[in-house]
Amino acid sequence: MSSSVGPAALAIAPKPASTTAFAILFAISFSHMLNDMMQSLLPAIYPILRTRYSLNFAQIGIITLTFQTAASLLQPVVGMVTDRRPMPFSLPVGMGFTLIGLLLLSVAGSYTVLLIAAAMVGLGSSVFHPEASRVARMGSGGRHGLAQSLFQVGGNAGTAIGPLLAVFIVVPHGQGSIAWFSLAALLAMAVLTWVGMWYRRLQTAQGKRAGARGTAHGLSPRKVALSVSILVALLFTKFFYVSSFSTFYTFYLISKFHVSVQSAQVHLFIFLAAFAIGVLGGGPIGDRVGRRYVIWFSILGVLPFTLMLPFANLFWTGVLSAVIGLILASASSAILVYAQELIPGRVGLVSGLFFGLAFGMGGLGAAVLGWLADATSIDFVYRVCAFLPALGIIAALLPRLSHDQAVRA
């Protein structure tokens, strides 16, 4: 990915709308990887923070809720504002908030400061995601599923890498070593400054607002509202379940199988790596066969595996978690692009809303599941969550948007 930001890439002129600008897509994906890698450090060091600050599961869930609430509340607002007035250089500014949050996290000496640091990292995501998603669509050349998959797989790769880096850097060297990751934030800011320059040149060349409206799909406002509501419900299912892994999977493995923190983090990496692969495959498949089918298969198709997981031994837990991550992630880009096609000309608002809902539901899930784990057991949490994908049956109610009907915003 780093080759996309080298000297040759810097000379690239803005691509016409009919051409896929892969250099830009790789650059924005690379930046997304760095962004989410830094974010994933927070849940990856929860075992360290729990021991150092004597935290219970509910307090850990509140840290996640604080981070993901900050990451969700502003995203629709940022998207709505930038739909009206695109801000190419808001991307490096957003990464600056993440930089401040990391530095605070490295020196935090109290639970309150941990919450402030988590909020700053979340704020960085709130600014980054809507405009970054718009850039991915601008550079797609009409291959919207592929572009969103490339963009999102960067984030998921970063989420998978973060826990491994925590194992090899933060665990042996302590909380202060998080400050070294500020270098990644500075690198991302440099890449995003170049992307912002491309974005501005493209606006000038087109002579119109980025993300202009496409053709109508013919659905009534009521049908659009119902479809969006279904997508939100599916996001609830997806991210509530994913939250059980991102926040509590290491504790589940340590509690049930008595593995070390390092071993638990490796298992978390396997799940997150499989999730990243699923994201990469789901977009292009949705471009070919239709996003509705990908969404339906992804949410409902994972149900047999989630039901088996609580009863598996350590080996099969690792296998099942990888299969779950692979299938569940395939809907990530399909849901977002489908929503963008339902509401043409509102790329920033839709991206901000759906990324914001993803973060918000993940945070709510962490808080609720943390409370449930304290009240019962961490094993009981996974038995309950196993039934969440059954809600995927409502994807059958989504209207068909053929490639001829699909909005090309």
Give the tens place of pLDDT for each residue, 313-350: 999 999 999 999 999 988 888 888 888 888 887 777 78
1 pLDDT more than 60: no
pLDDT tens per residue across span 271-316: 988 888 888 888 788 878 888 888 988 888 999 999 999 999 999 9
Q: What whole-number distance in Å separates Cα of residue 333 and Cα of residue 337?
A: 6
Query: Residue 377: inside a domain, yes or no?
Result: yes
CA 6, 10, 12, 15 torsion-angle sign: positive
Is residue 212 situated within a structural domain? no
Closest CA to 15 of 170, 153, 147: 147
Task: Compute the average pLDDT of residues 1-30.
Answer: 59
Query: 124-175, pLDDT tens digit by residue?
Result: 988 888 888 888 888 888 788 888 888 888 887 887 788 778 878 887 887 8
Q: What phi, psi does 159 have (nearest 5°)? A: -65, -35
Tell me what the mean pLDDT of segment 373-382 comes to. 92
Q: What angle do CA 329, 169, 154 make, to 5 degrees?
A: 25
Amino acid at residue number 302: V
Give the C-alpha distances (Å, rounded to integers) separating 184 from 2, 189, 390. Answer: 13, 9, 39
Asked if residue 212 has pLDDT above 80, the reply is: no
Tell me what the mean pLDDT of segment 82-97 comes to.
86
Other C-beta atoms closer than 10 Å to the C-beta of 393 total 12
Closest alpha carbon to 247 in 108, 386, 49: 49
pLDDT tens-digit readout, 225-241: 999 899 988 888 888 88
| Mean residue pLDDT across the chain | 82
Q: Of 139-153, 173-187, 214-228, which range is least confident? A: 214-228
Q: How many domains does the chain have?
A: 1
User: What is the extent of the structural domain holding 116?
Assistant: 21-205+219-397
- Does some domain include residue 358? yes
| 7 token code pair | 């000297």
Map tokens 């899930």 to a residue.
365
Residue-wise pLDDT tens digits, 53-78: 888 888 888 888 888 778 777 788 87
pLDDT at 158: 85
Confidence grade of residue 217 (pLDDT, cut at 50, 70, 90): low
Distance CA 242, CA 8 (A): 39
Question: CA triplet 23, 24, 28: central angle to 5 degrees?
Answer: 120
Q: What is the dihedral of CA 279, 76, 348, 123, to 10 degrees?
A: -70
Q: CA-to-CA distance for 155 and 320, rounded, in angstroms?
A: 22
The yes-or-no verdict on residue 18 having pLDDT over 60 is: no
Give me the CATH number covering residue 269: 1.20.1250.20
CA 265 from chain centre, in angstroms, equals 19
Angle between helices 22-44 and 221-257 (to 10 degrees): 50
Structural domain includes residue 405: no
**Type of residue at 120:** M
Q: Which two tokens stand for residue 161?
A: 């890498």
For residue 108, being part of any structural domain is answered with: yes
**Is residue 12 in some structural domain?**
no
Residue 86 inside a domain? The answer is yes
What pLDDT score was predicted for residue 288?
82
Any domain includes 2: no
